[in-house]
Amino acid sequence: MPLRTPLQYAHTHLNRHMAELLDFLRIPSISTQPERTPDVHRAADWLAESLRHAGLEHVQVIATQRHPLVYADWLHAGPEKPTVLIYGHYDVQPAEPLALWHTPPFEPVVIDDYIYARGAADDKGQAYIHVKAVEAFLQGSGRLPVNVKFIMEGEEESGGESLAAFVPQQTALLAADVAVISDTAMVSKDVPAIVYGLRGMCYILMDLTGPGRDLHSGGFGGGINNPINALGHLLARLKDEEGHILIPGFYDKVRPLSAEERAVLAKFPLDEAAWLAETGAPAAWGEPEYTLVERLGARPTLDVNGVIGGYTGPGSKTVLPSTVHAKISMRLVPDQDPLEVRDLFCRYVESLLPPSIKVTFTFRGGAPASITDYNTPAVKAAERAYATVFGREPVLMREGGSIPVVGLFQQHLGVETVLMGFGLPDDKIHAPNERFYVPNYVRGIQTVIHFLAGLDVPGSMA
Amino acid sequence: MPLRTPLQYAHTHLNRHMAELLDFLRIPSISTQPERTPDVHRAADWLAESLRHAGLEHVQVIATQRHPLVYADWLHAGPEKPTVLIYGHYDVQPAEPLALWHTPPFEPVVIDDYIYARGAADDKGQAYIHVKAVEAFLQGSGRLPVNVKFIMEGEEESGGESLAAFVPQQTALLAADVAVISDTAMVSKDVPAIVYGLRGMCYILMDLTGPGRDLHSGGFGGGINNPINALGHLLARLKDEEGHILIPGFYDKVRPLSAEERAVLAKFPLDEAAWLAETGAPAAWGEPEYTLVERLGARPTLDVNGVIGGYTGPGSKTVLPSTVHAKISMRLVPDQDPLEVRDLFCRYVESLLPPSIKVTFTFRGGAPASITDYNTPAVKAAERAYATVFGREPVLMREGGSIPVVGLFQQHLGVETVLMGFGLPDDKIHAPNERFYVPNYVRGIQTVIHFLAGLDVPGSMA
């Protein structure tokens, strides 16, 4: 299939494609905040409408227990052609702390080749690349070289339970030969990357309670246990100061890194000084027996993502607080089981607490880690597509984040996922001033056009 | 001096005295919150006006670096009569968490014999008892049996630096034979108490910083130290799980409890089950080698009063936070030095932190502990006054809270302070739904009338 026409279409309509992405970014579809539910639904409707305009069929906004899924397809390439399942998520992280944003998070602006907005890179910008690449085929050439299905999620940033329930029930609807997701980062502006391994996740909210109400720390201090001090003891026993997790049994199912894979990872071109400068931290840190690249992608973690308790206003207050809330997430690696890790965590915490402190847990979602085969024809097609557009082959890497749907697709649909990232390491995803590099939006659309065409090679999906 | 007239005056004007206290409580004079500064000043002006109406002279609102002091006196009893220095504070604690109040904290209401409002017991209600007792003499009988000076403070809940600077400079203005403060609690409604020992205070705000901005916990977890996890390690090393403080040198200057004093404290009628029920905690806690009464009044503590860091909104966010803020206070006992404790704390914390975490400290005020002689004539006069009004002698006790001014008066004015408390242990000071028992307001005014008259006994101030 000649690619001149869709590439030309993408080039001609670039301004409109940019304007549409900015519209998408204006919708504050923060899935974890209940008051944003109407905005999350609005984003789903907006995306469905956009898929219709692109020329896709069977566009549906599918109601779930929480936020809708958006489905669409185009299946006229012929039964002998491969079917590609394209996934993305239209929900975003909270924008707090708002005071640190230089421009409002939901009023996207383009400054010096970057779009600044919450969700610009994670994942609206990257997901929308696929909508526009498919539009370029359907509106430019009237057809696609392969069959295409879209499944777009609105809970990726807050547990993803609805998609996890949907996929096993809808294996026929979602059946495909390969999946593709753009929700990862390149190494740098000129060095693309294909991620072959992702960490899993186990996220737990924990509330510790001591006294039944806030007490005067003078009148009661020394006689009543303080839940914040007790949290300190707990945290110190969950992970040591070098990063080793101390929960009994936590590492039992961790698949050891093979010498071969350590050699692959050692080739990853990480500039540690530049990386550290980008974080703003005074020093790197972590398990001394692993390299930084290994620690960031191939080792499990335990991080407190947020904590609040007692008096947190300005100045001082002499209160012995009733309660403290901690949000704790563990990044998992193959072959850890998130539910088993959850149980190990909760049992261990309960075993550590004295009778003066009570605990409650809220499980906020888990997903196993995933590793995909990087020798498949689809990965090779992605490598060729990147090489054509970016002028060099992508690096193979493991990523520290979690994309639970990769494991879902493996387990229930039997398909491998190609992770074609167009983000950059300094896109500040999940942080203030998130951004997306405009040239990567443009080259991303071109790369996906080449990728979809590259799948249409006899035997490529064997 | 016959007491029938002032007691009759207090009885006749009770309704107005209640209404005035409610007006005082309506002023949200929260000294630690900068936006409340105008309210703190308004409370000072209100109090000055009230002292003028009571018949006091030389009423002054004295400007300071922060919140004003209020001074007033009546010195016509004669040079051979003792001079009493009456101290109270007109500032209050923050009202947060507001959602837990059953009625608005600055809209006082009387329900079932209790006044509910922030500051009702701590200290507006108790301080105002003295204003009304003096008014009963001056307006009822035209004179007082002793000379009286008032010094009222607006920073007691937030460091008290201004009074600490004022007292050493104004020793002539404040010269007195004895001081009296009502800012403590009785044992129960029928068992009054005189506090002879108070703990001191060292309050430090601490900010730990890891990365320069919030990072994605997937992309960076395992390679960058998390300041909240680091805080956990710090807290665990500051105090063990039984309540022993681990800062090197912290206990070096702690005066050991004598066998005689342990015997006095053992007589204190604490119903541990009722006390525990009042706290709502599942179990008591603390240094096992000391009794609960000893731990609450005669042992130093270290409590985290508040903590906040990372994402604290609803649900989850996978952030590796840049920073965490902790408010830590230590209650001190004789003969610990608050500045020395501050330095020991800061040096120890710095010695524990790895290069991946930076710390900043803000010292929020310190005060030494104090112990007064409970065999003075003034204490005996207070005992007689309580016995007359409440029908039983007060219990002698050490209190866990801090009233730094007691140490200031000892050090710079050479006077002992009588701590005549009219609060109750379940007044919920520093907590939501603070309250003050109305009969104690009434009996408090009567008790202070008897106390002031009781000081006018030949040789009583020898």
The pLDDT tens digits of the residues spanning A33-77 come to 999 999 999 999 999 999 999 999 999 999 999 999 999 999 999
Q: What is the pLDDT of residue B461?
A: 53
Residue A250 DSSP SS3: coil
* Cβ under 8 Å to A: B residues 412-431: 425, 428-431
Closest Cβ–Cβ partner in A224, A324, A400 for B284: A224
pLDDT over 50 at B158, yes or no: yes
State pLDDT tens for residues B414-426: 999 999 999 998 8
Q: What radius of gyration, in Å, describes the C-alpha atoms of chain A?
A: 23
**Cβ contact B51:B138 at 8 Å:** no
Mean pLDDT within B310-314: 94
Residue A246 amino acid letter: L
B75-94 residues touching A, CB cutoff 8 A: 93-94
Residues from chain B that touch A216, judged by Cβ atoms under 8 A, are 401, 429-431
CB contact under 8 A, B431 and A312: no
Instruction: Please determine, for residue B399, whether its predicted confidence score (pLDDT) is greater than 80.
Output: yes
Using DSSP bridges, classify how beta strands B193-198 and B395-399 pair: parallel, antiparallel or unpaired: parallel
Q: Does B432 touch chain A (CB under 8 A)?
A: yes
What percent of chain A is modeled with pLDDT above 90? 85
Domains detected in chain A: 4-198+369-455 (3.40.630.10), 200-254+300-367 (3.30.70.360)
Among all residues of chain B, which has the CA nearest to that of A214?
Answer: B431
Q: Which of A223, A300, A358 is opposite residue B285, by nearest beta carbon?
A: A223
Residue-wise pLDDT for A147-203, tens only, equals 999 999 999 998 889 999 999 999 999 999 999 999 999 989 999 999 989 999 999
Using alpha carbons only, how large is chain B's radius of gyration in Å? 23
pLDDT at A459 > cutoff 80: no
pLDDT for residue B2 is more than 90: no
For B247: left if phi > 0, alpha if psi spans -120 to 50, otherwise beta; the answer is beta
CB contact (8 A) between residue B304 and residue A226: yes
CB of A305 closer than 8 Å to CB of B312:
no
The structure tokens 């980062």 sit at A185
Helix (H, G, I), strand (E, B) or coil at A343: helix
Enumerate the residues of chain B whose CB falls inside 8 A of the CB of residue A400.
218-222
**Mean pLDDT, rounded, of chain A:** 95
Average the pLDDT over A111-120 and give the result: 98
- The mean pLDDT of A308-334, rounded to a whole number, is 95
At residue A309, the 3 state secondary structure works out as: strand
Q: In chain B, how many H helices and how many E strands?
A: 15, 18
Contact B217 A329 (CB under 8 A): yes
C-alpha dihedral over A389, A391, A396, A397, to 10 degrees? -80
B residues 132-161 closer than 8 Å to A (CB): 157-159
Contacts of B210 in chain A (CB under 8 A): 281
* pTM for this entry: 0.79
Mean pLDDT, rounded, for B193-213: 95
Confidence of residue A461 (pLDDT cuts 50, 70, 90): low
Residues of B in contact with A282 (CB under 8 A): 355-358
**Cα–Cα distance measured from residue A275 to residue B342, given in angstroms and rounded to the nearest whole number:** 37
pLDDT band at A283 (very low <50, low <70, confident <90, very high): very high
Cα B357 from Cα B224, distance rounded (Å): 10
Whether A81 has a pLDDT exceeding 90, the answer reads yes
pLDDT band at residue B459, thresholds of 50, 70 and 90?
A: low
B29/chain A closest Cα distance in angstroms: 14
Instruction: Tally A–B CB contacts below 8 A.
Output: 378
Verify whether the Cβ–Cβ distance A307 to B303 is below 8 Å: no
Burial grade of A194 (CB within 10 A; 0-12, 13-18, 19 or more): buried
pLDDT of amino acid A401: 84
CA gap B89, B69 in Å, rounded: 9
Contacts of A399 in chain B (CB under 8 A): 218-219
Q: Inform me whether the C-beta atom of residue B36 falls under 8 Å from chain A C-beta atoms.
A: no
B458 has a pLDDT exceeding 60? no
Nearest to residue A163, comparing CAs of A28, A66, A81?
A: A66
For B204, nearest residue in chain A (alpha carbons): A316
How far does A388 lie from chain B, in Å, by closest CA? 27
Helix (H, G, I), strand (E, B) or coil at B277: helix
Nearest by CB: A317 against B94, B231, B325:
B94
Chain B's closest residue to A358, CA to CA, is B282
B365: part of which helix (H) or strand (E)? Answer: strand B358-367
Q: State which residue of chain B sits closest to A216, comparing Cα positions.
A: B430
Identify the pLDDT of residue A68.
Answer: 98
CB contact under 8 A, B356 and A285: yes
**Chain B residues 213-242 with CB within 8 Å of chain A:** 213-226, 228-239, 241
Least confident of A402-406, B46-50, B304-308: A402-406
Contact B223 A185 (CB under 8 A): no
A400 in contact with chain B, both atoms CB, cutoff 8 A: yes
Among A30, A98, A279, the residue to mutate for chain B (most B Cβ within 10 A): A279
pLDDT at A299 over 90: yes
d(CA B434, CA B120): 7
Cα angle, residue A302 at apex, residues A301 and A305 outer, rounded to 5°: 120
Residue B371, pLDDT > 90, answer: no
DSSP string, B114-158: EEESTTIIIIIHHHHHHHHHHHHHHHHTSS-SSEEEEEEES-GGG
Residue A1 has a pLDDT of 65
B254 interfacial to chain A (CB closer than 8 Å): no
Mean pLDDT calculated for residue range A111-137? 98
Active site residues of B: 91, 156
Q: Which DSSP string do the residues of B158-174 spell out, in sequence order?
A: GT-HHHHHHHHH-HHHH
| Distance in Å, alpha carbon of A414 to nearest chain B alpha carbon | 25
A230-274 pLDDT tens trace: 999 999 999 999 999 999 999 999 999 999 889 888 888 888 999
Closest approach of chain A CAs to the CA of B254, in angstroms? 15
Verify whether the Cβ–Cβ distance B318 to A305 is below 8 Å.
Answer: yes
Q: Which one-letter DSSP state was computed for residue A124? A: I
What CA–CA distance (Å, rounded) separates A278 from B358?
17
Strand partners, A83: A147
Q: Which of A203, A238, A399 sits opposite B316 (nearest CB)?
A: A203
Average confidence (pLDDT) over B333-338: 93
- Which residues between 94 and 123 in chain A have a beta carbon less than 8 angstroms from any beta carbon of chain B? 94, 96-97, 100
Q: What is the pLDDT of residue B315?
A: 87
Distances (CA, A) of B382 to B86, B394, B418, B460: 14, 9, 8, 12
Coil, strand or helix at A117: coil
Q: How far is A398 from chain B (nearest CA, A)?
A: 10
Predicted local confidence at residue B1, as pLDDT: 64
- Better-scored residue on pLDDT, A458 or A357: A357
According to the model, what pLDDT value does residue A462 have?
41
Rounded to an integer, what distance in angstroms lies between the CA atom of residue B260 and that of residue B10?
A: 41
8 A C-beta contact, residue B398 and residue B195: yes
CB-based contact B234 A231, cutoff 8 Å: no
Mean of pLDDT values over B381-399: 94
Give A73 to chain B, closest Cα distance, Å: 31
A140's enclosing H/E stretch is: helix A125-140
Among residues B442, B445, B414, the alpha carbon closest in space to that of B83 is found at: B414
pLDDT band at B331 (very low <50, low <70, confident <90, very high): very high
A10: contact with B, CB 8 A cutoff: no
Distance from B455 to chain A by nearest Cα, in Å?
A: 30
Least confident stretch, A35-44, A102-111, A172-181, B183-192? B183-192
CA distance B307 to A325: 10
Structure confidence at residue B402 (pLDDT): 79
Bond preceding residue A79 cis, omega within 30 of 0:
no
Percent of chain A topping pLDDT 70? 98
Query: Best-predicted range by mean pLDDT among A400-404, B105-109, B374-378?
Result: B105-109
Beta strand B395-399 pairing with B109-111: unpaired
**A435 token code pair:** 């951004």
pLDDT of res. B119: 98
CA distance B316 to chain A (A): 6
Q: In this predicted structure, what is the pLDDT of residue B462?
A: 41
Residues on chain B touching A300 (C-beta within 8 angstroms) = 222
Report yes or no: A357 at the B interface, CB cutoff 8 Å.
Answer: yes
Averaged pLDDT score across all residues of chain B: 95
